[in-house]
Structure 1
Amino acid sequence: MNRFSLIFSFLLLFPLVSLAETFRVNDIRLQGLQRVSAGTVFASLPIQVGAQISDVEIQQLSRALFRTGFFEDISIGRDGSVLVVTVKERPAISTINIEGNKAIKTEDLLSGLTENGLAEGQIFKRATLEGLTQELQRQYVAQGRYSASVEAKVESLPRNQVGLNITIDEGTVAKIKHVNIVGNEVFDDEQLLELFELGTGGWFSWFSSKNKYSKEKLSGDIERLESYYLDRGYLRFSIDSTQVSLSPDKETVYITLNITEGDVYTVSEVDLAGDLVVDESQIRRLILVKEEQNFSQVLMTTTSEYITKRLGNEGYTFADVRGIPERNDDDNTVKITFFVDPGKRAYVRRIDFRGNTKTSDEVLRREMRQMEGGSASTAAIEQSKIRLERLGYFKEVNVDTKEVPGSNDLVDVEYTVEEQPSGSIGASVGYAQQTGATFGANVQQDNWFGTGKSVGFSLNTNRFVTSYSFNYNDPYFTPDGVSRGFSLYYRERDFGQFNVSNFNTDTYGANVTFGYPTSEISRISLGFGFSNISIDTGFAAVQEIRSSPRLIEDVPLRYVDQDTIDRIEALIAGARDLDGDGLLSDAELEAFRNYDPDDDQSTYEPNASGNIDPYDYSGIVSTITEMDDVLLLDSPEGFIDRNGNEFNMFTFNLGWRQSTLNRGRLATRGASQQVSFELSVPGSDLEYYKLTYNAQYFKPLTKNLTLRLRTQLGFAESYGNTSELPFFEHFYAGGFGSVRGFERNTLGPRASPAFSYNLYRSPISASDTNADGNADEFDNLASYIIDPATGQLSASQRTRNDNPFGGNVLMEFGAEVLFPLPFIKDQRSMQSAFFIDAGNVFDTNCRSSQLNCYDVEPGRLSASYGLGLTWITGFGPLTFSIAKPIQQQEDDETEFFQFSLGNTF
């Protein structure tokens, strides 16, 4: 090397040697920190005190600190052997304010900001904010809000903080003006556009939002269109292009789809490949695609799902079954091969429960049909989920099967539940003119303290009704699912009003019931009970319960003068026919009026209570007979006349229930039916039997609509020594759970009022009490009823008293279309329906005097239609309905609006 070369090389290397000069760091000094801790900075520096550092490494230190994102500016210098780091921190976000948003909730927007590193307390990054505003605007565009705008402003605050103010103008959703499909020849536009969720809309577009553009909805419509063709054999169908055009004012959208239909392909062969694990004949029974049929994608994918579930039942939880179509374009045929990859058999390591804050794990675990340690079965796991849903304790039940990390043959099964109210509570305090002070309280809990046991208490009392009851049921009295329940009750009922009533009862009793599961969906029940009931007819019962005297008029009733009325009323009050001629003379009337109990010479003698005995029955009869030319007769015997008024009864109950409903409350699919038979044991004071049948069926109509059909049928009759079915065991219809739109229990036969007759005051002395401008025979009218037990006449108001009496045959039917309520996000605790109800009560032993009483005649079913809503609240089911009759009988009582809260005990 010559001298010149040596000099040139030295000159080149000298700057590098200077830049690579190092020094020993004896200390590190930090300047400019406000919120970031010194420890965070030291942890980010790749050097420590005592290390040698060069100028090149100082640049690396700067880059390391910038990567933390905490600093806006960094400078690193040297003060002797001290490394000086000076920083300028990025501002922190103090507040985030969002205004103008309605279509997207503020919580959702804040969540999106947080996911992108923008939240209160976080370091502010302007680049992230700008990118996020663009993303928010894209979200609004996807909803068809092309005119939406998002503006973000940064407000400087003290102590190196900022406030973010995001102002949103959502604009309006662009409306679809036209949807055009180009290239379709087999199916017309109208037929294909019916598949679309988007469209030009119609009269109800404001409600359905069908004409409001959405990118997500359009994607769904394209998928439905493609599936429509593929399910009909058009295996080469394709959507060539999709154009969405926007008007200049950004308020109108035009959609055009260009498609190629292709030819129809038929299935030439169906084959199986892979490791089948189970017998091939069993798998082939699950194949829905058949040779010589048109190709159908939905049948192919459904077959794959069926085979996957079948393998899952054998423990191959992660089996993969794929249908692979092989096209032959020469003859438009397709060969379908189902490739089966079962994977390894999986076993359940553990079953976990989440979300059951009240219900104990034991209640959930006993419903499991998949056992820990056993081979994982898809059917058993799903059946366990269904059993949890049928309990009625949960709004929703989800199940997830998870692989155990580090193992290829173990899984954990996790059930997540969301609890809902499973009982009802009610109380009432009030006052009514007829019933007086009222107090009522009831509690019914189907999941008592999370144990799965059902417990109920009830107390209701007022002037005429007092009832106490207690019921208890343990669905797992034995580990294998045998249930046991019992109930105790005591009731007093007094329906007397204005001295006229149907009947009063005093009842106490007890029941015990056992249930036994016969399958996963059915069980039988067996019960025994005892009850004691005593009946008091009050002053005058209806004729079906007890006979009552009546006056048969041979001639029209004549006017009665005031003097005769006074004599009749005196007889009622206790005057005596002293001479026994059947009449009350002036002297006898005067003696009664002047009667003094302290006068020893008095003709009248008081009884032991110090009162005058009422006049005997025959005297009144003769007086009335002579006065009005009428004859007093007895009505036909009633139930009490033939059977007495106090009964001890032992009952036997047998029932069967089957249910495939998906939920215990507010079911939406499946079916259930129940048969119940009740028999009073031979030798009881009353001998009768009752047979009832209840059924309901749910069928999905569309994605959001479900049809529900229901029926309730009943028949009851007496046997043995009992002449007729006890009237207190009759069926009733009308109201919630029956035929809505009619008052509760008012359909069907009416009772025959107790016989009575009227006395009219003379029109000469009458006053115009009914304010019709004339003194007529209806003024000063009094009705009288004769009590056959005492022979007394009693004045009462003129009441029809043809109360519902029920019958021994029940027929009820109903059809409902369940639909989701608009604008309500969580529909799981609510169920709304359009309904048609029909039903009535009949009697195979009608009396000639009964109103509205007929033998079984389906043509006499009362019917109504309307809208109903049920909401599961913390106080029990809250139910509303508005209904209008379609068909009604003459004596039916209608009710347009009805509601109830809680359960009836």
Structure 2
Amino acid sequence: MKCFGLSLFACRLPLLALWLVPLLVQAQAFRVQDIRVEGLQRVSAGTVFASLPVQIGDTLDSISIQQATRALFKSGYFADIQIAREGGVLIIQVKERPAISAISIDGNKAIKTEDLMKGLNDNGLSEGQIFKRATLQGLTQELQRQYVAQGRYGASVETTVEDLPRNQVKLNIEVDEGEVAAIKHINIVGNSAFDDEELQDLFELKSTGMLSWLNGNDKYAREKLSGDLERLESYYLDRGYLKFSIDSTQVSLSPDKESVYITVNVSEGDVFKVSEVDLAGDPVVGEDQIRLLVLMREGQTFSQVLMTTTSDYITKRLGNEGYTFAEVRGIPELNEEDNTVKVTFFIDPGKRAYVRRIEFRGNTRTADNVLRREMRQMEGASASSSRIEHSKVRLERLGFFKEVTVDTVEVPGTSDQVDVEYTVEEQPSGSIGASLGYADGSGLVLGANVTQDNWFGSGKQVGFSISNSRFQTVYSFNYTDPYFTPDGVSRGFSVFFRERDFSEFNLSTFTTDSYGASVNFGYPISDIERLGFSFGYNNISIKTGDFAVQEIIGSPRLDPRVEFAVLEEEYRDRCFDDNGAAQECDLSDVRQLVSELPESVLTETSDGFIDENGDNFNSYSFTLSWVQSTLNRGRMATRGASQRLSLEVALPGGDLEYYKLIYNAQYFQPLTRNLTLRLRTRLGWADSYGATSELPFFEHFYAGGFGSVRGFERNTLGPLSSPAIRYDQPVASVLTADESERLIPTDAAYLINTNGKIGTGTFGDDDDPFGGNVLVEAGAEILFPLPFIKDQRSLQSAFFLDAGNVFDTNCGPNQLNCFDVDLNKLSASVGIGVSWITGFGPMTFSLSKPIRENEFDETKVFDFSLGTNF
């Protein structure tokens, strides 16, 4: 009889019960008229009867009673079983094993408690289950083996069972994980073609070094060593060593169980060259096409990676023809006499498969038709690996999903049909509801808004907002249907009203009130390219404050750097009496005085934009755009490229005539499994034409801050405006000597006011950013995963280098920091940035350090934006 983990006494109980049976039951067989089970507490009678190989009406003898006892013990629910007879009634007296009331685990860190609990549950040890000591002992040993596999040779697991009332127990598991043994030395024996250092660089495991405390690469783990040995073998096979072998591997442990020594014994063999490349089987497509996919050539050194890559290429090619389950195997035939190898690719295409059904899973918000219209693989058509994969990429480019996976499943009972199953995981695609947030440059943002690229799962883009910040007040609505027609022609429109105060946005002092509307269409010219057309109307009114700069409104003025002493010397005799009081000067006298001043005293001025063009405009615009994208995702892309070229023209017939040409591009290149290089650029050129004298200043380009050149204040790079002037005192003012010093400091001057009379003026404190008509921006980023965060799909972090500036081909005579296009004037910064897509909008952070700046640049170390629309 098997013991099943019971104590010796418990194991012998059935034998004792069977020995007592003759005393309770007549030795002769008897017919069971009824069965009664006694002693049950938690186990149901049905469970007992299901395990008992005896039914009413059966005839029992001593052998059948023995079999029944064994069957009940085998169920694992009972610690003791006694069988007796009372007339025709079979009486079964049981004692149940205790139930597990609670499980306590303490001391574990390397393996999480929930993982340990899952392992216990999978082995039948969980709260409410019947306690089995043998199972606990086996699980304890397995747990210790897991710690040993992690290199924790000193780990120990102690278990105690605490008895509780009502036949229950509590399991206490005490874990001492110990320390991971550190690798002191890795030795490779038998290598001559490559030195130890070159081969050891292939290993993920390293001997203890200066940075081991940070990356933990000196912590031994059996799985890591297995991976390292595979890389070592592949390294040799990719260089023609077809007879390479790893003869043995020894892992030695120091007596204190804290140091590990690894020795790998290898046999290199000779280098083999390819003598012939042959095709066998049924290629299905033309052999000449298959030959184009073969990467191996006669006479070159054999490479396993080229052989497997060739097999993959041929498999994909056959998959594109509908042979989804094609198998291609590269078979090397060695000739050890001349160290050559013949490589034969055996092709088994199988049957051409057709797609029976395309199914979508996980789209809890997005409608099926939104996903189905992105499909390039059709139901009923032959299955194409490239079309199935391209459909997956199109789903990822929507930007609605964190992840998209695809599986091709054979249809049971057929050999030529498959189902294609796309599984998606939804992610936030905008922000909905009341907004409360803060963004550098805009300040506190309050309002009600909806911005959704996937409106109620329809795939349509809808946005409307009523928002207010210190910079602007906006009322807007926009709508775009990306599939206005079934073949992918899009249509959209927008209307808006906007009030902006540019003095609150690091720009020159002026405000604008504007309203307008536009309609746009998009036309696909390929799967990765679109043309866009937009027609719009815009009305804009401009208001200038007391400190409106000269480029906006110009007026005659004296050079602000001229001090009062100079002015006093020039004007005292004619415009001031002996007491220092200002007296009226005739207009002709004023002009004469100004003409007599030295040229160094006068400021060369010209009319501002409003002087020449007015302050209220109606304009009609046409925009033509071209977009190309091979990005793998609509948000948080990691590979591919995109570029956009747009031309906006303010059409003749409106009050303004100008054009803007803008080019945006980005490119992603994986560097390693975890690192990706991103390159980006943004270029802009704008100018006026026709009756408009110059590019409207409110259409200037600006640079600096998020989405531009981080490390600098928003919009502050590039040309500055000329100082602004405000008239403070009229001619009639009577100035004493003390008042002169108080009212006319060195940064003020006598000005010719709008009536042609002399008064005092005050100049603005700062030169404000004014922008320009040429924009140059570029950047490089290394995208990397943040440590200790499992789900990186809505998170992107990067080390970045940003550079850029704004230039102007028509700088004013007194503008500071204004240059024609000069790449030597680019400002640059380096830093680290993080972007995170949350349920209420994006969060972005950056820490930056300028490494190249111009004289008037305003720098900034930390930037963030929280809860604003995107």
TM-score, reference length from structure 1: 0.86
Work out the CA distance in 2 between the residues paired with 1:245 and 1:373: 60
Distance change (3 Å), C-alpha of 1:785 and 1:185: farther
Larger-gyration structure (1/2): 1
Instruction: State the match for 1:219 in structure 2.
Output: 226
Work out the CA distance in 2 between the residues paired with 1:707 and 1:552: 51
Q: Helix, strand or coil: the match of 1:558?
A: helix
1:765 equivalent to 2:738? Answer: yes
Q: Helix, strand or coil: the match of 1:83?
A: strand
CA deviation vs aligned residue, 1:4-30 (integer Å, no higher than 9, x gap): xxxxxxxxxxx9xx9983211111111
Instruction: State the match for 2:358 in structure 1.
Output: 351
Deviation of 1:889 (Å)? 0.6
Work out the CA distance in 2 between the residues paired with 1:692 and 1:427: 31
Task: Give unpaired runs (5+ residues) of structure 1.
Answer: 1-14, 566-580, 591-614, 768-775
Contact 2:396 2:403 in 1 (8 A): yes
Instruction: State the match for 1:670 in structure 2.
Output: 640
Deviation of 1:72 (Å)? 2.2
2:655 to 685, 688, 691: 685
Q: Helix, strand or coil: the match of 2:319?
A: helix
Distance change (3 Å), C-alpha of 1:786 and 1:490: farther
Instruction: State the match for 1:424 in structure 2.
Output: 431
Instruction: State the match for 2:316 in structure 1.
Output: 309
1:848 to 795, 798, 813: 813
1:804 to 748, 761, 769: 769
Q: Which moved more, 1:391-400 or 1:450-459?
A: 450-459
Work out the CA distance in 2 between the residues paired with 1:268 and 1:247: 49
Deviation of 1:427 (Å)? 2.9
Q: Helix, strand or coil: the match of 2:232?
A: helix
Contact 2:547 2:726 in 1 (8 A): no
1:651 equivalent to 2:621? Answer: yes
Instruction: State the match for 2:37 in structure 1.
Output: 30
Instruction: State the match for 1:93 in structure 2.
Output: 100
Q: Helix, strand or coil: the match of 1:278?
A: coil
Work out the CA distance in 2 between the residues paired with 1:436 and 1:161: 62
Work out the CA distance in 2 between the residues paired with 1:803 and 1:302: 60
Contact 2:567 2:749 in 1 (8 A): no
Instruction: State the match for 1:830 in structure 2.
Output: 795
CA deviation vs aligned residue, 1:660-692 (integer Å, no higher than 9, x gap): 111111111111111111111222221111111
1:184 equivalent to 2:149? Answer: no
Instruction: State the match for 2:127 in structure 1.
Output: 120
Work out the CA distance in 1 between the residues paired with 2:247 and 2:70: 50
Work out the CA distance in 1 between the residues paired with 2:204 and 2:102: 40
Task: Letter of the 1:649 partner, please give it.
Answer: S
Instruction: State the match for 2:64 in structure 1.
Output: 57
1:490 equivalent to 2:492? Answer: no
Contact 2:723 2:763 in 1 (8 A): no
Matches within 5 A, 1:196-235: 196-235=203-242
1:740 equivalent to 2:719? Answer: no
Deviation of 1:429 (Å)? 8.5
Task: Letter of the 1:848 partner, please give it.
Answer: P
Matches within 5 A, 1:144-163: 144-163=151-170
Contact 2:436 2:867 in 1 (8 A): no
Q: Which moved more, 1:870-879 or 1:460-469?
A: 460-469
Task: Give unpaired runs (5+ residues) of structure 2.
Answer: 1-21
Distance change (3 Å), C-alpha of 1:402 and 1:366: same
Deviation of 1:459 (Å)? 2.7
CA deviation vs aligned residue, 1:625-665 (integer Å, no higher than 9, x gap): 89999998883111122222221111111111111111111
Contact 1:270 1:290 in 2 (8 A): yes
Work out the CA distance in 2 between the residues paired with 1:623 and 1:160: 116
Matches within 5 A, 1:145-544: 145-424=152-431, 427-428=435-436, 439-461=446-468, 465-495=472-502, 502-544=509-551
Instruction: State the match for 1:711 in structure 2.
Output: 681
Q: Which moved more, 1:795-804 or 1:403-412?
A: 795-804
Contact 2:684 2:776 in 1 (8 A): yes
Contact 1:560 1:762 in 2 (8 A): no
Deviation of 1:346 (Å)? 1.8
Task: Letter of the 2:771 partner, please give it.
Answer: G
Distance change (3 Å), C-alpha of 1:560 and 1:691: closer
Contact 1:555 1:629 in 2 (8 A): no
Contact 2:489 2:524 in 1 (8 A): yes
Contact 1:583 1:619 in 2 (8 A): no
Work out the CA distance in 2 between the residues paired with 1:858 and 1:627: 42
Distance change (3 Å), C-alpha of 1:241 and 1:784: same
Task: Letter of the 1:300 partner, please give it.
Answer: M
Q: Helix, strand or coil: the match of 2:126?
A: coil
Deviation of 1:73 (Å)? 2.2
Work out the CA distance in 2 between the residues paired with 1:672 and 1:848: 40
Work out the CA distance in 2 between the residues paired with 1:78 and 1:19: 9
Contact 1:700 1:707 in 2 (8 A): yes
Distance change (3 Å), C-alpha of 1:751 and 1:280: same
Identity of aligned residues (%): 66
CA deviation vs aligned residue, 1:221-256 (integer Å, no higher than 9, x gap): 111111111111111111111111111110111111
Work out the CA distance in 1 between the residues paired with 2:586 and 2:534: 49
Instruction: State the match for 1:9 in structure 2.
Output: none
Task: Letter of the 1:877 partner, please give it.
Answer: P
Contact 2:704 2:716 in 1 (8 A): yes
Q: Helix, strand or coil: the match of 1:518?
A: strand
Contact 1:137 1:148 in 2 (8 A): yes
Matches within 5 A, 1:867-878: 867-878=832-843
Instruction: State the match for 1:598 in structure 2.
Output: none
RMSD: 3.4
Work out the CA distance in 1 between the residues paired with 2:397 and 2:180: 42
Deviation of 1:410 (Å)? 2.1
1:900 equivalent to 2:861? Answer: no
Deviation of 1:757 (Å)? 8.6
Work out the CA distance in 2 between the residues paired with 1:632 and 1:697: 52
Contact 1:758 1:782 in 2 (8 A): no
Distance change (3 Å), C-alpha of 1:795 and 1:398: farther
Task: Letter of the 2:720 partner, please give it.
Answer: R
